[in-house]
């Protein structure tokens, strides 16, 4: 394996929480968002998510002076589950979603092609396997104790044609609220929602992976893209 391949493989050790293979000193405790109150869906139309028709992608970007030696990465889930509900009083609409971290697909070639020219599809399988193993370790996503990433509606405003959504995202034991631009359409019994937004790893108390004093690093910013399809229950 060439030096460039080994260095490029290092960047694969990041997913949402900068999946580096060595332990990282735990961050200082930060306040978490209070739990979401029980949801009252009376009067709302409820839609159940179809996982196989839905997709969530996480784009991870290289950084640092020697970033050209690394790779950008795409992590995808076709296992998003949950529900959404639409109420005649639109502010009472919402959603509850989750996906299993153990089922995340690392650098699928087709997903990389779809992500654009910054994501060439030729990532060695050994690097993909190493990334998946490391991202589930206790110091990273800790898949054994925290098997799910959760997304819930914290606030809904606007209208169905122009929704204004704030989502509560929970990774491990850290929750943060993020404004999420989203387009929602309802056709017959099917609801579709799509959009994209950024999160910062440090907002979840995670230090992005870096080597050589930051000469090669993973950017703090992660870009999330999603298409959720749900059927009327």
Question: Tens-digit pLDDT profile for the chain (233 aa)?
Answer: 444 344 444 444 343 334 334 444 454 444 444 555 678 899 999 999 999 999 999 998 888 775 666 678 899 999 999 999 999 999 999 999 999 999 999 999 999 999 999 999 888 898 888 778 877 877 677 888 889 999 999 999 999 999 999 999 998 889 999 999 999 999 999 999 999 999 997 888 767 766 665 677 778 889 999 999 999 99
Q: Does domain 3-21+43-232 have CATH number 2.40.128.110?
A: yes
Q: What is the C-alpha to C-alpha distance for residues 175 and 151, in angstroms, rounded to an integer?
A: 9
The torsion angles phi and psi of 194, rounded to 5 degrees, stand at -140, 155
The residues pairing with 231 across neighbouring beta strands, listed in sequence order, are: 48, 190
Listed by start position, the domains of the chain span 3-21+43-232
Closest CA to 115 of 223, 8, 12, 13: 223
The answer to whether 150 and 142 are in contact (CB under 8 A) is: no
To the nearest 10°, the Cα dihedral for 104, 73, 24, 207? -110
Segments of 91-171 assigned E as strands? 94-100, 105-106, 148-158, 163-171
Query: Other C-beta atoms within 10 Å of 98: how many?
Result: 17
Q: Taking CA 16 as the corner, what is the angle to CA 10 and CA 22, rounded to the nearest 5 degrees?
A: 40
Q: By three-state DSSP, how is residue 128 classified? A: helix
| Token pair recorded at residue 28 | 């200082």
Query: What is residue 154's predicted lDDT score, i.e. its pLDDT?
Result: 97
Give a three-class secondary structure readout of 172-233: CCEEEEEEECEEEEEECCEEEEEEEEEEEHHHHCCCCCEEHHHCEEEEEEEEEEEEEEEEEC
Burial pattern 194-218, b for ≥16 Cβ within 10 A else e, equals bbebebebeebbbbbbbbeeeebbb
What pTM was computed for the model?
0.78
The answer to whether 77 and 53 are in contact (CB under 8 A) is: no
For residue 22, the surrounding DSSP H or E stretch is: none
């Amino acid at each position: 394996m060439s030096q460039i391949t080994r260095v490029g493989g290092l960047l694969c050790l990041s997913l949402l929480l900068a999946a580096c293979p060595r332990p990282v000193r735990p961050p200082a405790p930060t306040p978490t968002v209070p739990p979401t109150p029980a949801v009252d869906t009376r009067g709302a139309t409820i839609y159940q998510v179809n996982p196989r028709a839905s997709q969530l992608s996480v784009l991870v970007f290289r950084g640092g002076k020697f970033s050209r030696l690394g790779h950008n990465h795409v992590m995808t889930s076709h296992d998003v589950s949950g529900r959404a509900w639409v109420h005649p009083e639109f502010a009472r609409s919402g959603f509850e979603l989750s996906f299993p971290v153990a089922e995340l697909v690392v650098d699928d070639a087709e997903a990389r092609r779809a992500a654009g020219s910054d994501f060439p599809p030729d990532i060695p399988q050994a690097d993909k396997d190493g990334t998946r193993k490391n991202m589930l370790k206790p110091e990273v996503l800790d898949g054994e104790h925290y098997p799910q990433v959760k997304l819930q509606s914290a606030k809904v405003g606007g209208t169905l044609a122009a929704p204004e959504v704030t989502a509560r995202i929970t990774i491990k034991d850290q929750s943060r609220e993020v404004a999420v631009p989203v387009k929602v359409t309802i056709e017959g019994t099917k609801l579709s929602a799509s959009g994209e937004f950024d999160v910062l790893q440090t907002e979840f108390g995670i230090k992005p992976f870096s080597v050589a004093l930051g000469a090669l690093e993973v950017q703090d910013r992660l870009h999330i893209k999603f298409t959720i399809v749900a059927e009327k229950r």
